[in-house]
Structure 1
């Protein structure tokens, strides 16, 4: 069953199929990193969880945070069984790219394809969420310890390298029938309209601020729920129920 279908389950189906389980698999953005702190309340997957429960709160929505800061798709493969597949997820949200852009493009695409296939083989829905843009310049208020790295990421963004990685990743996802939630293009649109995207990164390098996490959640919500009107069923019976005779 899809997440949308499970959200409208009757009590009998909830007993049979269990609560909704979503795994968010990614890097520091999924981990919840901002600037010098971790925020598990406003991270995109938690906002998404709240939005889903607001539709019909009688169906539990459990989200597993499988984001680890600093990692890329390739060096996350070894933890997939423990962090993702063992939870038997209904949906896996995959978001890598911000660290991968420092490595080889072929390794990034191969890593994503391996992740996509493993998730599909376990019966989960898969959404590839493209990440935010990187900084476009070295901001005056960037942490001095990361000023040199900020120059590197700005170059990756400005010379088209990040664009190439995102285009290649989306092509791989579409080739494998994976839904794409293209947040990166939304960032590019904001940039084209004159937004200072570096200021939307709370660490001025690659960690989106809280409002932009909400943007991710809103776009994921739309991917999950689609365009058809969702008519939530009545609240399930939460009181004691005697076992029915066979």
Structure 2
């Protein structure tokens, strides 16, 4: 898959303070509990926990660190990555909350950022985006990381380091502990839209196309059965909802 793998993210130094023990523990546990990505077909409504990353979500629900926020991200071309980075910077370094957990409820057009380059090429997402959103983009730049991954936590004022706008990409934020949640409903709806617009080169059924998209979520993304329903469960478990 394109982009930086979760194994690579875990192996390289997390730039956050070493005092973020709860966050570091969660990242290690999530790496071992993000489920399989070899579906052949998926249903419209998921009913079996084996069809989503149930173990990973339960780890998030039970996270003991504080504070915990879930950002509602739908605008692919909006400032969503920048807002999460800025929030994390302020929470960790101004408010001294190293175990702060930021999660992204990624759905709507923003969900396309969570597919690897294979999906972008196979289903011509640049062409689809140009027609549906009237925007030009030739590849998934949201998963392209700049050479800032191994910067030290002591280098927080570096204007070209991971704490700056250079870190506004999914792998860099994952390395810092941001968790990106993928929405099955968004996958199903994109599959339907791709079929209707002729972006279905293998002539797959709806369930097969949705499975193919699911199998090509970027490494580290946590699959939910539906993001807004999951948000409600997360709020019940102490997460603050950020629009």
TM-score, structure 2 length as denominator?
Answer: 0.34
Mark the structure with the bigger radius of gyration.
1
Using CA pairs under 8 Å that are at least 6 residues apart, name the structure with larger relative contact order, 1 or 2: 2
Structure-1-length-normalised TM-score: 0.33
